[in-house]
């Protein structure tokens, strides 16, 4: 899924809105919560945890520098927390 979502991009949003732009936080949060509830997933599965899991997977599969750029971290020490 990660490769399908990001392709060859090394910068910009991991997931884009249907219009191809970055999600606005409030729209992404509302959509995520609705889909989580429809899937019957626990309410404590918050969006931050999903971002962290995605970041960890990116680090493992593509390397920390790729993950740093994609996650928008200016400092690699922030990205190192995902490993």
**Residue range 18-70, pLDDT digits in tens:** 787 877 888 888 988 999 999 999 998 888 887 888 889 999 999 999 999 88
Phi/psi region, residue 12 (left: phi>0; alpha: psi -120 to 50; beta: rest), is left
Q: What is the maximum span of the chain, computed from C-alpha positions, in angstroms?
A: 36
Number of neighbouring beta carbons within 10 Å of residue 71: 18
- How many residues belong to the chain? 83
Secondary structure element (H or E) that encloses residue 67, with its range: helix 64-71
**Segments making up each domain of the chain, as ranges:** 2-7+20-80
What's the Rg (C-alpha) of the chain?
A: 13
Instruction: Answer whether 0.85 is exceeded by the pTM.
Output: no
pLDDT at 2: 56
CA trace torsion 63, 83, 36, 27 (10° rounding):
-70
């Amino acid at each position: 899924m990660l490769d399908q979502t990001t392709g060859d991009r090394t910068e910009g949003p991991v997931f884009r809105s249907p219009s191809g732009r970055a999600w606005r936080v409030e729209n992404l949060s509302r959509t995520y919560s609705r889909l989580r509830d429809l899937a019957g997933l626990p309410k404590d599965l918050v969006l931050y945890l999903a971002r962290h899991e995605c970041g960890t997977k990116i680090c493992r599969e593509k390397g920390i520098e790729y993950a740093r750029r994609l996650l928008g971290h200016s400092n690699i020490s922030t990205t190192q927390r995902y490993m």
